[in-house]
Amino acid sequence: MSSNPVAETVASLMPRAKAELTELVAFKSVADFDQFPRSESEAAANWIVAALRAEGFQDVALLDTPDGTQSVYGLLPGPEGAKTVLLYAHYDVQPPLDEAGWDTPPFELTERDGRWFGRGTADCKGGFIMHLLALRALKANGGVPVHVKVIVEGSEEQGTGGLERYAEQHPELLAADTIVIGDAGNFRVGLPTVTSTLRGMTMMRVSVDTLAGNLHSGQFGGAAPDALGALIRVLDSLRAEDGSTTVDGLADGPAWEGLQYDEEQFRKDAKVLDGVSLIGSGTVADRIWARPAVTVLGIDCPPVVGATPSVQSSARALISLRVPPGVDAAEATKLLQAHLEAHTPWGARVRTEQIGQGQPFSADTTSPAYAAMAEAMAVAYPGQEMSYAGQGGSIPLCNTLAALYPRAEILLIGLSEPEAQIHAVNESVSPEELERLSVAEALFLRTYAAG
Protein backbone atom coordinates (compact mmCIF):
# COMPACT_ATOMS: atom_id res chain seq x y z
CA MET A 1 0.00 0.00 0.00
CA SER A 2 2.96 2.32 0.65
CA SER A 3 3.62 2.66 -3.07
CA ASN A 4 0.23 4.23 -3.60
CA PRO A 5 0.36 8.07 -3.50
CA VAL A 6 -3.16 8.34 -2.07
CA ALA A 7 -2.18 5.97 0.74
CA GLU A 8 1.00 7.96 1.37
CA THR A 9 -0.97 11.17 1.64
CA VAL A 10 -3.48 9.64 4.06
CA ALA A 11 -0.62 8.29 6.20
CA SER A 12 0.94 11.75 6.36
CA LEU A 13 -2.41 13.26 7.39
CA MET A 14 -3.03 10.91 10.31
CA PRO A 15 -1.54 13.17 13.03
CA ARG A 16 -3.85 15.97 11.90
CA ALA A 17 -6.77 13.55 11.81
CA LYS A 18 -6.04 12.54 15.39
CA ALA A 19 -5.92 16.16 16.51
CA GLU A 20 -9.22 16.88 14.77
CA LEU A 21 -10.94 13.80 16.15
CA THR A 22 -9.72 14.82 19.62
CA GLU A 23 -11.48 18.18 19.21
CA LEU A 24 -14.64 16.58 17.91
CA VAL A 25 -14.80 13.92 20.63
CA ALA A 26 -14.54 16.65 23.30
CA PHE A 27 -18.05 17.90 22.43
CA LYS A 28 -20.63 16.09 24.56
CA SER A 29 -22.97 16.03 21.59
CA VAL A 30 -25.65 13.68 22.89
CA ALA A 31 -28.93 14.75 21.28
CA ASP A 32 -30.87 14.21 24.50
CA PHE A 33 -31.16 17.81 25.64
CA ASP A 34 -32.69 16.93 29.01
CA GLN A 35 -29.43 15.22 29.95
CA PHE A 36 -26.85 17.16 27.91
CA PRO A 37 -26.77 20.86 27.04
CA ARG A 38 -27.85 21.70 23.51
CA SER A 39 -24.82 24.00 23.27
CA GLU A 40 -22.54 20.91 23.08
CA SER A 41 -24.35 19.63 19.99
CA GLU A 42 -24.37 23.13 18.49
CA ALA A 43 -20.63 23.44 19.04
CA ALA A 44 -20.01 20.10 17.32
CA ALA A 45 -22.22 21.14 14.40
CA ASN A 46 -20.36 24.43 14.07
CA TRP A 47 -17.03 22.61 14.14
CA ILE A 48 -18.21 20.55 11.16
CA VAL A 49 -19.45 23.65 9.36
CA ALA A 50 -16.01 25.21 9.74
CA ALA A 51 -14.25 22.02 8.62
CA LEU A 52 -16.36 21.80 5.45
CA ARG A 53 -15.85 25.48 4.63
CA ALA A 54 -12.10 25.05 5.09
CA GLU A 55 -12.19 22.22 2.53
CA GLY A 56 -13.84 24.50 -0.01
CA PHE A 57 -17.40 23.21 0.38
CA GLN A 58 -20.16 25.52 -0.84
CA ASP A 59 -23.73 26.02 0.39
CA VAL A 60 -22.60 24.85 3.82
CA ALA A 61 -25.66 25.05 6.04
CA LEU A 62 -27.09 24.00 9.37
CA LEU A 63 -30.41 22.36 8.57
CA ASP A 64 -33.12 22.61 11.23
CA THR A 65 -34.69 19.17 11.14
CA PRO A 66 -38.24 18.55 12.43
CA ASP A 67 -37.00 16.81 15.61
CA GLY A 68 -35.38 20.02 16.84
CA THR A 69 -31.81 19.07 16.00
CA GLN A 70 -29.47 20.23 13.24
CA SER A 71 -27.81 18.37 10.40
CA VAL A 72 -24.84 19.87 8.57
CA TYR A 73 -24.86 19.94 4.78
CA GLY A 74 -22.25 20.97 2.22
CA LEU A 75 -21.50 20.60 -1.48
CA LEU A 76 -18.07 20.28 -3.06
CA PRO A 77 -18.56 20.75 -6.79
CA GLY A 78 -16.58 18.42 -9.03
CA PRO A 79 -15.78 18.54 -12.74
CA GLU A 80 -18.64 19.32 -15.11
CA GLY A 81 -20.72 16.28 -15.95
CA ALA A 82 -19.27 14.27 -13.09
CA LYS A 83 -21.37 11.94 -10.98
CA THR A 84 -22.59 12.96 -7.53
CA VAL A 85 -21.69 11.03 -4.38
CA LEU A 86 -23.33 11.68 -1.02
CA LEU A 87 -21.18 10.97 2.05
CA TYR A 88 -23.05 10.45 5.33
CA ALA A 89 -21.93 10.54 8.96
CA HIS A 90 -23.47 11.70 12.24
CA TYR A 91 -21.95 13.93 14.92
CA ASP A 92 -24.30 13.03 17.75
CA VAL A 93 -23.20 10.23 20.05
CA GLN A 94 -24.63 7.77 22.51
CA PRO A 95 -24.53 8.92 26.14
CA PRO A 96 -21.43 7.63 27.96
CA LEU A 97 -23.65 5.45 30.20
CA ASP A 98 -21.76 4.44 33.31
CA GLU A 99 -18.88 6.96 33.38
CA ALA A 100 -17.17 4.97 36.14
CA GLY A 101 -17.07 2.00 33.76
CA TRP A 102 -14.74 3.88 31.40
CA ASP A 103 -10.99 3.31 31.80
CA THR A 104 -10.33 6.76 30.31
CA PRO A 105 -12.54 9.89 30.27
CA PRO A 106 -15.29 9.35 27.66
CA PHE A 107 -14.98 12.80 26.09
CA GLU A 108 -11.16 12.91 25.98
CA LEU A 109 -9.62 11.01 23.09
CA THR A 110 -6.98 8.81 24.72
CA GLU A 111 -4.51 6.49 23.00
CA ARG A 112 -4.06 3.10 24.61
CA ASP A 113 -2.94 -0.27 23.22
CA GLY A 114 -2.83 1.15 19.72
CA ARG A 115 -6.45 2.35 19.74
CA TRP A 116 -8.05 5.74 20.29
CA PHE A 117 -10.64 5.64 23.06
CA GLY A 118 -13.51 8.06 23.50
CA ARG A 119 -17.26 8.31 22.87
CA GLY A 120 -17.91 8.75 19.16
CA THR A 121 -14.38 7.86 18.01
CA ALA A 122 -15.88 5.06 15.88
CA ASP A 123 -19.61 5.90 15.93
CA CYS A 124 -19.54 8.19 14.10
CA LYS A 125 -17.28 11.21 14.52
CA GLY A 126 -14.46 9.10 13.13
CA GLY A 127 -16.71 8.49 10.12
CA PHE A 128 -16.72 12.21 9.36
CA ILE A 129 -12.92 12.36 9.74
CA MET A 130 -12.70 9.41 7.31
CA HIS A 131 -14.65 11.45 4.72
CA LEU A 132 -12.32 14.44 5.27
CA LEU A 133 -9.20 12.30 4.90
CA ALA A 134 -10.46 10.72 1.68
CA LEU A 135 -11.23 14.10 0.12
CA ARG A 136 -7.91 15.65 1.23
CA ALA A 137 -5.99 12.71 -0.21
CA LEU A 138 -7.72 13.14 -3.56
CA LYS A 139 -7.12 16.90 -3.57
CA ALA A 140 -3.42 16.31 -3.01
CA ASN A 141 -3.33 13.78 -5.84
CA GLY A 142 -5.06 15.29 -8.84
CA GLY A 143 -8.38 16.44 -7.37
CA VAL A 144 -11.79 15.14 -6.40
CA PRO A 145 -13.31 13.67 -9.58
CA VAL A 146 -16.98 13.71 -8.49
CA HIS A 147 -19.45 16.18 -7.02
CA VAL A 148 -19.47 15.48 -3.31
CA LYS A 149 -22.38 16.20 -1.01
CA VAL A 150 -21.78 15.71 2.69
CA ILE A 151 -24.54 15.31 5.25
CA VAL A 152 -23.69 14.98 8.94
CA GLU A 153 -26.74 14.21 11.06
CA GLY A 154 -27.32 15.55 14.58
CA SER A 155 -29.64 12.95 16.10
CA GLU A 156 -28.99 9.51 14.65
CA GLU A 157 -28.65 7.79 18.00
CA GLN A 158 -31.95 9.11 19.37
CA GLY A 159 -33.88 7.62 16.46
CA THR A 160 -36.07 10.72 16.26
CA GLY A 161 -36.05 10.67 12.45
CA GLY A 162 -35.26 14.36 11.96
CA LEU A 163 -33.07 13.96 8.90
CA GLU A 164 -35.43 11.42 7.34
CA ARG A 165 -38.36 13.85 7.54
CA TYR A 166 -36.18 16.75 6.34
CA ALA A 167 -34.95 14.73 3.34
CA GLU A 168 -38.54 13.85 2.43
CA GLN A 169 -39.50 17.52 2.58
CA HIS A 170 -36.47 18.57 0.47
CA PRO A 171 -36.15 15.68 -1.97
CA GLU A 172 -33.57 17.40 -4.22
CA LEU A 173 -31.10 18.17 -1.46
CA LEU A 174 -29.50 14.77 -0.97
CA ALA A 175 -30.04 13.41 -4.51
CA ALA A 176 -26.95 11.48 -5.63
CA ASP A 177 -25.83 8.68 -7.93
CA THR A 178 -24.20 6.86 -5.05
CA ILE A 179 -24.50 7.19 -1.29
CA VAL A 180 -21.76 6.13 1.12
CA ILE A 181 -23.05 5.70 4.66
CA GLY A 182 -19.94 5.88 6.86
CA ASP A 183 -21.70 4.46 9.92
CA ALA A 184 -21.22 0.68 9.60
CA GLY A 185 -18.07 -1.35 10.18
CA ASN A 186 -15.79 -4.14 9.07
CA PHE A 187 -16.75 -7.63 10.18
CA ARG A 188 -13.36 -7.88 11.88
CA VAL A 189 -10.43 -5.45 12.14
CA GLY A 190 -8.50 -5.80 8.90
CA LEU A 191 -11.29 -7.53 6.95
CA PRO A 192 -12.75 -5.02 4.48
CA THR A 193 -16.51 -5.33 4.59
CA VAL A 194 -19.52 -3.68 3.06
CA THR A 195 -22.81 -4.07 4.86
CA SER A 196 -25.27 -4.89 2.11
CA THR A 197 -28.47 -5.76 3.98
CA LEU A 198 -30.28 -4.55 7.06
CA ARG A 199 -33.21 -6.18 8.78
CA GLY A 200 -36.31 -4.11 9.37
CA MET A 201 -38.30 -4.10 12.56
CA THR A 202 -41.79 -3.92 13.91
CA MET A 203 -42.65 -3.46 17.58
CA MET A 204 -45.92 -4.54 19.10
CA ARG A 205 -47.61 -4.30 22.43
CA VAL A 206 -49.88 -7.23 23.28
CA SER A 207 -52.37 -7.13 26.16
CA VAL A 208 -54.36 -10.08 27.48
CA ASP A 209 -57.40 -9.77 29.79
CA THR A 210 -59.34 -12.63 31.35
CA LEU A 211 -60.98 -11.48 34.59
CA ALA A 212 -62.56 -8.35 36.05
CA GLY A 213 -59.91 -8.40 38.78
CA ASN A 214 -57.20 -10.52 40.40
CA LEU A 215 -58.34 -13.58 42.38
CA HIS A 216 -56.93 -15.69 45.20
CA SER A 217 -54.99 -18.53 43.59
CA GLY A 218 -56.05 -20.99 46.32
CA GLN A 219 -59.73 -20.24 46.06
CA PHE A 220 -59.99 -19.80 42.27
CA GLY A 221 -56.74 -21.17 40.77
CA GLY A 222 -57.24 -24.20 38.52
CA ALA A 223 -60.45 -22.99 36.92
CA ALA A 224 -60.11 -19.21 36.74
CA PRO A 225 -58.42 -18.21 33.43
CA ASP A 226 -55.04 -16.73 34.24
CA ALA A 227 -54.09 -13.81 31.97
CA LEU A 228 -50.39 -14.12 32.64
CA GLY A 229 -50.58 -17.84 31.82
CA ALA A 230 -52.39 -17.02 28.58
CA LEU A 231 -49.74 -14.44 27.67
CA ILE A 232 -46.94 -16.92 28.34
CA ARG A 233 -48.61 -19.42 26.01
CA VAL A 234 -49.12 -16.93 23.22
CA LEU A 235 -45.51 -15.70 23.49
CA ASP A 236 -44.27 -19.28 23.45
CA SER A 237 -46.24 -19.94 20.26
CA LEU A 238 -43.84 -17.54 18.50
CA ARG A 239 -41.02 -20.11 18.77
CA ALA A 240 -40.35 -23.61 17.53
CA GLU A 241 -38.69 -26.20 19.78
CA ASP A 242 -35.21 -25.13 18.56
CA GLY A 243 -35.98 -21.48 19.27
CA SER A 244 -36.61 -20.47 15.64
CA THR A 245 -39.15 -17.71 15.22
CA THR A 246 -42.49 -19.07 13.99
CA VAL A 247 -44.98 -16.41 13.00
CA ASP A 248 -47.78 -18.06 10.98
CA GLY A 249 -47.32 -17.30 7.28
CA LEU A 250 -44.09 -15.33 7.71
CA ALA A 251 -41.35 -16.67 5.45
CA ASP A 252 -37.59 -16.51 5.90
CA GLY A 253 -35.63 -14.25 3.57
CA PRO A 254 -33.41 -15.90 0.96
CA ALA A 255 -30.45 -17.83 2.45
CA TRP A 256 -27.44 -15.62 3.26
CA GLU A 257 -24.82 -15.74 0.51
CA GLY A 258 -22.17 -13.32 1.79
CA LEU A 259 -19.69 -13.65 4.61
CA GLN A 260 -20.29 -16.52 7.02
CA TYR A 261 -20.24 -16.03 10.78
CA ASP A 262 -18.33 -18.85 12.46
CA GLU A 263 -20.47 -20.46 15.16
CA GLU A 264 -17.70 -20.61 17.77
CA GLN A 265 -16.83 -16.99 17.08
CA PHE A 266 -20.46 -16.02 17.44
CA ARG A 267 -20.68 -17.82 20.79
CA LYS A 268 -17.68 -15.82 21.95
CA ASP A 269 -18.95 -12.49 20.62
CA ALA A 270 -22.39 -13.05 22.16
CA LYS A 271 -20.83 -14.27 25.42
CA VAL A 272 -23.04 -17.41 25.43
CA LEU A 273 -22.60 -19.41 28.63
CA ASP A 274 -21.02 -22.88 28.48
CA GLY A 275 -23.54 -25.62 27.84
CA VAL A 276 -26.19 -23.25 26.50
CA SER A 277 -27.20 -23.78 22.84
CA LEU A 278 -27.69 -21.16 20.20
CA ILE A 279 -31.28 -20.95 19.01
CA GLY A 280 -32.69 -21.16 15.50
CA SER A 281 -31.62 -23.18 12.48
CA GLY A 282 -29.51 -22.61 9.38
CA THR A 283 -26.16 -20.84 9.43
CA VAL A 284 -25.53 -18.18 12.05
CA ALA A 285 -25.50 -15.57 9.25
CA ASP A 286 -28.92 -16.82 8.08
CA ARG A 287 -30.31 -16.49 11.57
CA ILE A 288 -29.12 -12.98 12.34
CA TRP A 289 -29.25 -11.38 8.87
CA ALA A 290 -31.72 -13.28 6.70
CA ARG A 291 -34.48 -14.59 8.96
CA PRO A 292 -37.17 -13.08 11.16
CA ALA A 293 -36.47 -12.94 14.88
CA VAL A 294 -38.93 -12.28 17.66
CA THR A 295 -37.67 -10.96 20.98
CA VAL A 296 -39.80 -10.35 24.06
CA LEU A 297 -38.60 -6.96 25.27
CA GLY A 298 -40.67 -6.64 28.40
CA ILE A 299 -43.59 -8.05 30.33
CA ASP A 300 -45.91 -6.20 32.69
CA CYS A 301 -46.72 -8.56 35.54
CA PRO A 302 -46.20 -8.49 39.31
CA PRO A 303 -42.50 -8.51 40.26
CA VAL A 304 -41.34 -11.48 42.30
CA VAL A 305 -40.68 -9.37 45.36
CA GLY A 306 -44.05 -8.52 46.82
CA ALA A 307 -46.00 -10.96 44.64
CA THR A 308 -49.10 -12.41 46.28
CA PRO A 309 -50.84 -15.77 45.67
CA SER A 310 -53.11 -14.36 42.96
CA VAL A 311 -54.47 -15.35 39.58
CA GLN A 312 -53.70 -12.40 37.32
CA SER A 313 -56.56 -10.73 35.49
CA SER A 314 -54.42 -8.98 32.88
CA ALA A 315 -50.88 -9.03 31.50
CA ARG A 316 -48.97 -7.14 28.84
CA ALA A 317 -45.83 -7.64 26.79
CA LEU A 318 -43.77 -5.63 24.32
CA ILE A 319 -42.25 -7.66 21.50
CA SER A 320 -40.01 -6.82 18.58
CA LEU A 321 -39.92 -8.65 15.29
CA ARG A 322 -36.81 -8.21 13.13
CA VAL A 323 -37.90 -8.42 9.51
CA PRO A 324 -35.51 -9.95 6.97
CA PRO A 325 -34.66 -8.34 3.61
CA GLY A 326 -37.20 -9.33 0.98
CA VAL A 327 -40.14 -9.24 3.41
CA ASP A 328 -42.44 -6.22 3.67
CA ALA A 329 -42.48 -4.92 7.25
CA ALA A 330 -46.16 -3.91 7.03
CA GLU A 331 -47.08 -7.41 5.85
CA ALA A 332 -44.97 -8.94 8.64
CA THR A 333 -46.76 -6.74 11.16
CA LYS A 334 -50.17 -7.96 9.97
CA LEU A 335 -49.03 -11.58 10.18
CA LEU A 336 -47.69 -11.06 13.70
CA GLN A 337 -50.95 -9.45 14.77
CA ALA A 338 -53.01 -12.28 13.30
CA HIS A 339 -50.73 -14.86 14.90
CA LEU A 340 -51.07 -13.31 18.36
CA GLU A 341 -54.85 -13.22 18.04
CA ALA A 342 -55.10 -16.79 16.73
CA HIS A 343 -52.82 -18.28 19.40
CA THR A 344 -54.28 -16.61 22.47
CA PRO A 345 -55.88 -19.49 24.41
CA TRP A 346 -59.13 -19.87 26.39
CA GLY A 347 -60.98 -17.13 24.57
CA ALA A 348 -58.95 -14.57 26.50
CA ARG A 349 -59.36 -11.00 25.26
CA VAL A 350 -56.30 -9.95 23.34
CA ARG A 351 -55.37 -6.54 21.99
CA THR A 352 -52.36 -5.68 19.85
CA GLU A 353 -50.96 -2.26 19.22
CA GLN A 354 -48.16 -1.48 16.82
CA ILE A 355 -45.52 0.89 18.27
CA GLY A 356 -43.07 1.39 15.41
CA GLN A 357 -41.94 -0.04 12.12
CA GLY A 358 -38.92 0.12 9.80
CA GLN A 359 -38.48 -1.60 6.45
CA PRO A 360 -35.55 -3.94 5.79
CA PHE A 361 -32.90 -2.83 3.31
CA SER A 362 -31.02 -4.71 0.65
CA ALA A 363 -28.40 -3.22 -1.70
CA ASP A 364 -27.73 -4.21 -5.29
CA THR A 365 -24.25 -5.66 -4.90
CA THR A 366 -23.83 -6.17 -8.66
CA SER A 367 -23.84 -2.41 -9.28
CA PRO A 368 -20.84 -0.42 -10.60
CA ALA A 369 -20.38 1.28 -7.23
CA TYR A 370 -19.92 -2.08 -5.52
CA ALA A 371 -17.38 -3.12 -8.15
CA ALA A 372 -15.49 0.14 -7.61
CA MET A 373 -15.53 -0.30 -3.85
CA ALA A 374 -14.24 -3.87 -4.14
CA GLU A 375 -11.36 -2.64 -6.28
CA ALA A 376 -10.56 0.15 -3.81
CA MET A 377 -10.76 -2.14 -0.78
CA ALA A 378 -8.33 -4.59 -2.41
CA VAL A 379 -5.72 -1.80 -2.67
CA ALA A 380 -6.35 -0.39 0.81
CA TYR A 381 -6.27 -3.87 2.38
CA PRO A 382 -3.57 -5.73 0.45
CA GLY A 383 -4.20 -9.44 0.22
CA GLN A 384 -7.83 -9.13 1.33
CA GLU A 385 -11.00 -9.33 -0.68
CA MET A 386 -14.05 -7.26 0.17
CA SER A 387 -16.74 -9.22 2.03
CA TYR A 388 -20.46 -8.69 2.32
CA ALA A 389 -22.05 -8.74 5.73
CA GLY A 390 -25.56 -8.07 6.90
CA GLN A 391 -26.62 -6.13 9.91
CA GLY A 392 -29.35 -7.35 12.20
CA GLY A 393 -30.43 -3.85 13.17
CA SER A 394 -31.92 -1.15 11.04
CA ILE A 395 -30.84 2.27 9.77
CA PRO A 396 -34.14 3.98 8.87
CA LEU A 397 -32.34 6.68 6.87
CA CYS A 398 -31.23 3.99 4.37
CA ASN A 399 -34.84 3.26 3.53
CA THR A 400 -35.69 6.93 3.25
CA LEU A 401 -32.80 7.48 0.83
CA ALA A 402 -33.56 4.28 -1.10
CA ALA A 403 -37.19 5.37 -1.48
CA LEU A 404 -36.30 8.95 -2.49
CA TYR A 405 -33.55 7.93 -4.91
CA PRO A 406 -34.43 4.46 -6.16
CA ARG A 407 -31.61 4.54 -8.71
CA ALA A 408 -28.88 5.52 -6.25
CA GLU A 409 -26.48 2.85 -5.10
CA ILE A 410 -26.05 2.71 -1.32
CA LEU A 411 -22.86 1.43 0.33
CA LEU A 412 -22.45 1.04 4.08
CA ILE A 413 -18.89 1.10 5.38
CA GLY A 414 -17.29 2.47 8.51
CA LEU A 415 -15.21 2.16 11.63
CA SER A 416 -17.59 0.25 13.91
CA GLU A 417 -15.92 -3.17 13.85
CA PRO A 418 -16.67 -5.36 16.89
CA GLU A 419 -13.65 -4.23 18.95
CA ALA A 420 -14.89 -0.64 18.70
CA GLN A 421 -17.59 -1.49 21.28
CA ILE A 422 -19.90 1.21 20.02
CA HIS A 423 -22.76 2.17 22.33
CA ALA A 424 -20.91 0.52 25.27
CA VAL A 425 -18.35 1.91 27.70
CA ASN A 426 -14.76 2.19 26.43
CA GLU A 427 -15.70 2.86 22.79
CA SER A 428 -12.60 3.13 20.62
CA VAL A 429 -11.44 3.34 17.04
CA SER A 430 -8.55 1.59 15.37
CA PRO A 431 -6.36 4.25 13.72
CA GLU A 432 -5.24 1.65 11.14
CA GLU A 433 -8.86 1.08 10.18
CA LEU A 434 -9.43 4.83 9.91
CA GLU A 435 -6.36 5.10 7.67
CA ARG A 436 -7.21 2.15 5.43
CA LEU A 437 -10.88 2.97 5.07
CA SER A 438 -10.02 6.58 4.21
CA VAL A 439 -7.70 5.26 1.49
CA ALA A 440 -10.45 2.91 0.33
CA GLU A 441 -13.00 5.70 0.18
CA ALA A 442 -10.64 7.97 -1.76
CA LEU A 443 -9.79 5.24 -4.28
CA PHE A 444 -13.46 4.31 -4.51
CA LEU A 445 -14.39 7.87 -5.50
CA ARG A 446 -11.67 7.86 -8.13
CA THR A 447 -12.51 4.44 -9.57
CA TYR A 448 -16.23 5.11 -9.48
CA ALA A 449 -15.78 8.44 -11.31
CA ALA A 450 -13.77 6.74 -14.05
CA GLY A 451 -16.30 3.90 -14.50
The piece of 116-124, 147-155, 258-266, 299-307 that touches Zn ion (CB under 5 A) is 116-124
Of 124 and 434, nearer to Zn ion (C-beta) is 124
Residues with a known catalytic role: 92, 156
CB of 417 to Zn ion, least distance (A): 13
- 152 is a contact residue toward Zn ion (CB under 5 A): no
CB of 92 to Zn ion, least distance (A): 9
CB of 301 to Zn ion, least distance (A): 34
Number of residues that bind Zn ion (CB under 5 A): 3
CB of 24 to Zn ion, least distance (A): 14
The piece of 33-41, 176-184, 255-263, 290-298 that touches Zn ion (CB under 5 A) is 176-184
Of 196 and 333, nearer to Zn ion (C-beta) is 196
CB of 93 to Zn ion, least distance (A): 8
Of 55 and 183, nearer to Zn ion (C-beta) is 183
- 124 is a contact residue toward Zn ion (CB under 5 A): yes
- 67 is a contact residue toward Zn ion (CB under 5 A): no
The piece of 6-14, 119-127, 167-175, 383-391 that touches Zn ion (CB under 5 A) is 119-127
Binding test (CB under 5 A) with Zn ion, winner from 40, 67, 123, 433: 123
- 183 is a contact residue toward Zn ion (CB under 5 A): yes
- 427 is a contact residue toward Zn ion (CB under 5 A): no
| CA–CA dist 367, 369 (Å, integer) | 5
Of 6 and 124, nearer to Zn ion (C-beta) is 124
The piece of 49-57, 115-123, 208-216, 297-305 that touches Zn ion (CB under 5 A) is 115-123
CB of 156 to Zn ion, least distance (A): 5
- Contact residues toward Zn ion (CB under 5 A) are 123-124, 183
